[in-house]
Every structure is written in structure tokens, then in C-alpha cells.
Chains A and B, each alone.
Chain A
């Protein structure tokens, strides 16, 4: 497959062009311009019926492929840890991921990722946007894109929820030119939004009455004015009210102690368990982020502590989704923005390595028990065909039943590809 070698920084800051100067970006958020539609709304309706969901697990900073999915004990670059066999004969993982090794037969691992951005600040948005070609607009992150492509789910839940450490908020920036309403609802430490509980002084009747008055006021205000602001504001209320009805999704006390133990009480464990709850409830796209994987220093001692933090809950959630009959409907993506260097630096750490790294896929539309691609014996380079993130996006969309060659965004009349048009789905992944 063709490998592009553009150097584009791809961050939201790098948007220039007449189009943007004419307000496409700002318009997308504030004014009436820029709210795009799909050229194939019928396709979207179809997708919605099938109920596909996405679990996107992002290990920010770059998990070391040597210490996880592509160990090279015989290589001078290999590090001190052993390999262990997985549930698929012939495939070995690092000893640091014993639980995931047991379920390799449910997974697809790509060991031949080769991307060009060695930086976090540009690499993270680039990866999560599918490394779009520079079209003068800010491309949406995967969660916003999927919300657009699959449409808002009929269950009224927020279509895109992001569970992350740190602060909560509504991250409209991820939606790019699609418009504010496609942004991510971020739950800080997975906690429910504050104020999800209505005070007792407000009854169902008075709540309904006051919101009806509010809607009528907005309907009047909207006349002869740009309506995207009012729309956005209305929607924030609608979603708030929907979420209030589903408070139990955030109630930890309802979780069996055994589950809490299987996933682990560390943040990533708790967050993945919460992701399971949200997916079970029908949230269409759940992103779970863990930070601080960028082990430039003391990589081996750090990896020893970090990697089990993904191993345990990842295996748990794949197993749990399968047990619930959901694995055929949920596509799971586990990745970072790059891997880590073969060479070991003076702090016994590994630096960034976009040149050859691994990611893990599972679930809807994805082959099980396969490894796609390999690295050279020393682990430094991709051996054979290499895949870029544009290819990954093709793969994810196809797994969701969307044909990237036939579907485009319509940004104010400007057709835009949903995935790079010089990329293709990764061989051997799609069932």
C-alpha cells in the first residue's frame, strides 16, 4: 500500500486557508455555516439500526511494543522481560501481559504500524483524526466522526463519552468542522457530571413545566436569528435531562465486587469497568484515556508497573463484552500515538518510535486470533508491508459497515473524505 510521507503537523492550530478565514471553523461552532450533513443519510439510518458501538482505548504517550505486543527477547533491543505464549500457538507476548495473552484468540494485533509523526503534540491529534490530508479544515476526532457517521443514537444518551483522568467538560474541539454538538462529553475520573441529581424541591411536574417554558422562550428567541447557538444550547439541556434519567450508569455501588477486582481499582481499571457499563447502556462511542505512558526514563521499571494496568482490565472487558453477546457489535481499538525506540537511552528509557509499533483490535467485523505484519528480528523496523493510521481509519469504518470510498462529509458543499483517500483497510483484519 502506498505510504504517504507528508509532513503535516495536523494540529488544530495548523488550519489556514481562505475557507477558514471565511469562518468555516468559527462558523461550525457558532454560526449556521459548517454544520455538515452526510451525503448518504440513508446509510446512516441503516447503521443506526445495527447498533454498532466503539470502545477506543488510548494509552497516551506511547506504550512500548517491546514490553507488550511485540516482544523481542533475542534482540539487543529486547529488554529484560520474557515472552510468554498466548492462546494462539506461535504467537507470543511479553510476560507483562499475561491476561491478554490468554485471549489472543479473540484479538487482532497489528505489529506493522509505521507512522511518521514522532511528536506528542502533533501526533496525538493526528492519530485520533486519522491523519487527514490538509483540506483547510479541522478534521474531527474518531469519536466525533463516528457520531456523525452513525448518527445520534435513538436512546438519547450522549453519543460520545470520554472517560479520562483529570477534569471533566464538554470537549467541542474534537468535533472540528462537524460542529460543536459532535464533541466529546468528558467525565473526569469517570465521575458523573456534577448536578446529575435533581434536588427534591423540584418535582417531575415542575421540572417538566419549567423546561417547557424554557423551550418556548428559545423558540421565540430563535426567530430571525442564527439558530446554531440556540440548537447547541437546547441540545445541552436535552442531553442533560436524558443523562439524569440514567443516573444508575454512574453508580459504583451497583458493581459486583468481583468485577471491581477483575478490572482493578487503579484509574484505568475503574474507567474500563465504567466503559463497560456505558457500552451496555448503549452509549455509541466510549473513549478511555490513560496518560503517562511516555517512558523516556526508567522504561523497564515503569513498564513493569504500567503494563499490568492495561493488561488486566483490557482482558476483562473483552471477555465481559463477549459474555454479554456484545463483541460482535462493539469494535475495540487499543493504541497509542506511536511505540517506543529499540535503542535504550542513558536513563534506561525508550524514546518515541513511530517507525514500527503495534496496536490491538477486536470485536465487530474484526478477525480473531490474527497477527497482521511483523517487525524485523531485532524489532526495529517493519518487515514487509507497513500500515499507517489512515489505513487504520479505513479499517475501523469498514468494520462499522461504512464504506469510506462511498461516504463523504459535506462541509457546506465541500465534499471531504472520511478517511484518507490514498489509504486502504489493513489486510487481514476485516472478517
Chain B
């Protein structure tokens, strides 16, 4: 692995972060669909999880891979303790595990069951690592001790399933977003809801729908906490195919007012699933698209609707920023060719689930544009 990006980053002066120069970095393939991926706080590991119930860990430098035994159902959220050696994962049965993630195959350090009455969809962790926040289908944000999983507080108030939670950089507030596009600003000390913010553009229910489409799929703050961005799907045309306009909203956190709506450069019909602010204030976002059609990793200046740069790629379900600020990470959709309606008997042997890659995106000029710096695991 001599020419890897990683060693380049180690040995030389760190490259200049320039989103417009984004190119593919390391690629980690996997047999099943993964929907969550995070860099560890020390930047050495990637943890990813999704539809196959295991937690997959890759060492960036060596490519070594191991698993943690995982859950009994799909994993819906994944977050590292900011300083410690812990990883928290949640699933569709309302189970939250705390892992010593460095130890392959280890059992959970502790487990919370029946969190969020059936389905947990979002996890967040305070900057001091002491409190884990969870939210899901019973519409209550819950605070848990990261030491032993003891419940600290219940924050009721949402009227719809909670899809996303984020902690403000000042450590005092958190924001949670629900199916109906309502964002709640919580005071973590008192547990009070300070205010509601309006992200209702991210929810659609037309008269002929029999279900609600959308939800605040991601909330993120910029480094100062002055801006909050959230994303999802707007103007859904149906509750069947659920096609709509991938949309991100940028709010002035102090006033709580929406400042800008951001759209993708190219046609795409699914929600922007995740956003990350880069150190220079750029906002990166990535959506999912129908039919295995490619979409884009988009980069915006938060005050302009159109991305200043787009990088074509397959649908993504999550996005994370490396602690060094130079790399993004996203689990991407990989079609295994069994798509579409129906099948014919003779293709039975080829009928396998779709898979994924966990893709690193380098946010700097490719030092060897002709060569490939991908490291497959």
C-alpha cells in the first residue's frame, strides 16, 4: 500500500482542502447494503452498518476488516464516542448497543433494549461524550448515560417519528427533526424545547396520499454553530415511488430563520440523506436516486442554491467527515443486476441482494490523476 493516500497524508505536508478537486479515495466493498458509515474520532477506522445487521470495521491504513456481532435487525444509526473507545449503534427494534469497537467480535459493553418503543432512527452524542441521545418512532428524544446506558431524560414533544438528531457545537443544545419537517431545539440542561424550527418543506402529504413522505433526514451544524443545515425530500409527488426534490435547508441558528434552500445540480428524485460542513464553510451533501441511477456528491456555498461543484456517484445514505477535514465517507448503493419488476425463473441463481461500497472521497487535488489510489478490501 505504498502509494496510498493515507501515507501521502502522513508523510508529506497535508494537502490543501479543496472541495472542487474531489476525487475517489479508498473504496471498501461489501456484499450487502450498508446505510451508515462513520470515521472513528482518531481517523484510523471506519465503522459501517446497514441491512445485514453486523457492524463492519475497516482499518484505513491496513485495510484489515473485522465485524462486531451486531443486531437482530437493520441498523439505523451509528455514532462514535468523541474521545473514548466506544461506538454506539441503534436498530429498528429499539435496541442500542455500546461497543468497544477496537475488539473484533466483542460483545456489547452494555445494551439498551426497548429504547424508543420499537424503532430507533437517530443517535447523537454530546461533545463531552457523556450523553447519548436517541430518537425514533415513539417521538421522544431520550438522553442516556454513555457510561452504563442509564436513562437520564425524556424529551417529548414531537408529533412525528424522529429521523435525525444533532448536538450543537456549544454542547448546550441539540436539535431533532421529525417526519413532518418540524425541528426542535432542545436545551440539554433543562430538557426544555426552546423553539420549533420550520423545515416543513421536507414533508409532503398531498390530498390523495395515504401516507406521509419525507422527514428531516439529517441535521448538522457548521463548526461555529452559527449555521444549521438539514435535509431530506421535498415536493414528493407520490407516496409510492416517493419521487421529489432533494433539498437542503440552511438556517441561521441564532434567529432560527431559514436562510437558503439548496438543490442538487442534476436530476435526482430521492432525499438528501446526509450533510456535512467542511472547515471552509462549504456544505457537502449526498442523496439517493431511483433505479440505481447515479446522482452526485454536491458541494455548496451555504448562501447559493446551486452547488459550486458536483461529483457524480451512486446513491448514498450517509456522509461523514474525517477528523482531518480532508476526506468524506459515504456508503453507496451498488446494483447487483437483479433490479426491476419481476424475474424469470432462469435468473434464479443470479438473484442476489444489492450490495454497497463504503467510499472515501478525497477533498484535495489528486496527486496522481492518472493512477488509481483505491484500496480495495
The answer on a CB contact under 8 Å between A297 and B291 is: no
B289 interface hit (Cβ, 8 Å): yes
Chain B residues with Cβ below 8 Å from A343 are 336, 338-339, 351-354
Q: At the interface with chain B, which of A32-40, A75-83, A171-179?
A: A75-83
B 82-109 to A, binary, CB cutoff 8 A, 1 in contact else 0: 0000000001110000000000000000
A292 touches B315 (CB 8 A): no
Contacts of A355 in B (CB 8 A): 342-343
Tell whether A302 is near chain B: CB-to-CB under 8 Å.
yes
A304 CA to B353 CA in the complex, in Å?
A: 22
Q: CA A301 – CA B242 in complex, angstroms?
A: 11
From A21-29, A314-322, A325-333, A344-352, the one touching the partner chain is A344-352
Closest A residue to B292 by beta carbon equals A346
| Contact, CB under 8 Å: B341 / A352 | yes
Choose one: B241, B343, B351; the contact of A296 (CB below 8 Å): B241
Given known pairs A73-B73, A76-B32, A345-B354, the reply for A295 and B288 (CB within 8 Å) is no
User: How many Å from the CB of A123 to the closest CB on chain B?
Assistant: 10
**Do the beta carbons of A297 and B241 come within 8 Å of each other?**
yes
B260 at the interface (CB under 8 A from A): no
Chain B 202-241 interface residues, beta-carbon cutoff 8 Å to A? 208-213, 215, 238-241
Asked if residues B288 and A296 are in contact (CB atoms below 8 Å), the reply is no
Contact A77 B353 (CB under 8 A): yes
Contact of A298 with B by CB under 8 A: yes
Complex: A353 Cα to B344 Cα, angstroms: 11
Which of the residues B32, B92, B338, B354 comes within 8 Å of A80, measured between beta carbons? B92
A290 touches B290 (CB 8 A): no
Among residues 348 to 401 in chain A, which have CB atoms less than 8 Å away from a CB atom of chain B? 348-349, 351-355, 380-381
A345–B292 touching, CB < 8 Å: yes
Chain B nearest CB: distance from A222 CB in Å?
A: 43
| Among candidates B240, B333, B351, residue contacting A302 with C-beta atoms closer than 8 Å | B240
A344–B354 touching, CB < 8 Å: yes
Counting contact residues on chain A (CB < 8 A from B), the size range is: 35 or more
Please report the C-alpha to C-alpha distance between residue A351 and residue B342 in the assembled complex, in whole angstroms: 8
Q: Are B212 and A305 in contact (CB under 8 A)?
A: yes
Q: Tell me whether B307 is interfacial, beta carbon within 8 Å.
A: no
Q: Are B341 and A344 in contact (CB under 8 A)?
A: no
How would residues 311 to 326 of chain B score, 1 for a CB under 8 Å from any chain A CB and 0 otherwise? 0001101000000000
Q: Which residues of B contact A344 (CB under 8 A)?
A: 33, 51, 353-354
Cβ of A309 within 8 Å of any chain B Cβ, yes or no, is: yes
Taken together as a complex, chains A and B put the C-alpha atoms of A294 and B315 apart, in Å, by: 21
Q: Which of the residues A73, A291, A309, A354 comes within 8 Å of B342, measured between beta carbons?
A: A354
In the assembled complex, the Cα of A291 lies from the Cα of B211 at a distance in Å of 11
Which secondary structure dominates where chain A touches chain B? loop
Residue of B nearest to A303 (CB): B211
Closest residue of chain B to A120 (Cβ to Cβ) is: B341
Q: A345-B291, A351-B339, A352-B341 are in contact. Are A267 and B210 (CB under 8 A)?
A: yes
Determine whether the beta carbon of A346 is less than 8 Å from that of B92: no
CB distance from B39 to the nearest CB of A (A): 23
Are B342 and A118 within 8 A (Cβ)? yes
List B residues 237-257 near A (Cβ within 8 Å).
238-243
Given known pairs A290-B210, A294-B241, the reply for A347 and B351 (CB within 8 Å) is no
A306 engages B314 (CB within 8 Å): no
B348 lies within 8 A of A381 (CB)? yes
Closest chain A residue, CB of each to CB of B315: A346
Flag whether B369 is at the interface (Cβ < 8 A): no
Inter-subunit contact B291/A309 (CB<8 Å):
no
- Whether B212 lies near A296 (C-beta < 8 A) is no
Q: Which residues of B contact A342 (CB under 8 A)?
A: 351, 353
CB contacts (< 8 Å) of A306 on chain B: these are: 210-211
B113 contacts A by Cβ under 8 Å: no
* Set A268, A338, A347: member contacting B242, Cβ < 8 A: A347
With CB as the reference atom, state the residue of chain B lying closest to A345.
B339
Mark out the residues of chain A between 76 and 113 whose CB falls within 8 Å of any chain B CB in the assembled complex.
Answer: 76-77, 79-82
Residue in A305, A351, A380 whose CB lies within 8 Å of B340: A351
Q: How far is the CA of A81 from the CA of B72 in the complex (A)?
A: 10
Partner of A165, one of B33, B52, B208, B342: B208
Could you say which residues of chain B place their CB within 8 Å of the CB of A118? 341-342
Whether the Cβ atoms of B209 and A292 lie closer than 8 Å is yes
Contacts of A119 in B (CB 8 A): 341
- Are B290 and A347 in touch, CB under 8 angstroms? yes
In angstroms, Cα B96 to Cα A190, docked, is 45
Q: Roughly how many angstroms separate A77 CA and B343 CA in the complex, as a whole number?
A: 15
Question: Does B364 reach chain A (CB closer than 8 Å)?
Answer: no
Q: A82-B73, A302-B211, A346-B288 are in contact. Are A353 and B342 (CB under 8 A)?
A: yes
Chain A residues, Cβ within 8 Å of B348 = 380-381
Give me 19 A-to-B residue pairs in the complex whose CB atoms sit less than 8 angstroms apart, sorted by A's number. Answer: A76-B52, A80-B92, A266-B210, A291-B208, A292-B211, A295-B242, A297-B242, A298-B213, A309-B210, A343-B336, A343-B339, A345-B290, A345-B339, A346-B288, A346-B314, A348-B317, A349-B242, A352-B342, A354-B342
- Besides the contacts A343-B339, A347-B270, A347-B288, what 14 more A-B pairs have beta carbons closer than 8 Å? A76-B52, A79-B74, A80-B76, A296-B242, A297-B240, A297-B243, A306-B210, A338-B342, A343-B353, A345-B339, A346-B270, A346-B288, A346-B291, A354-B342
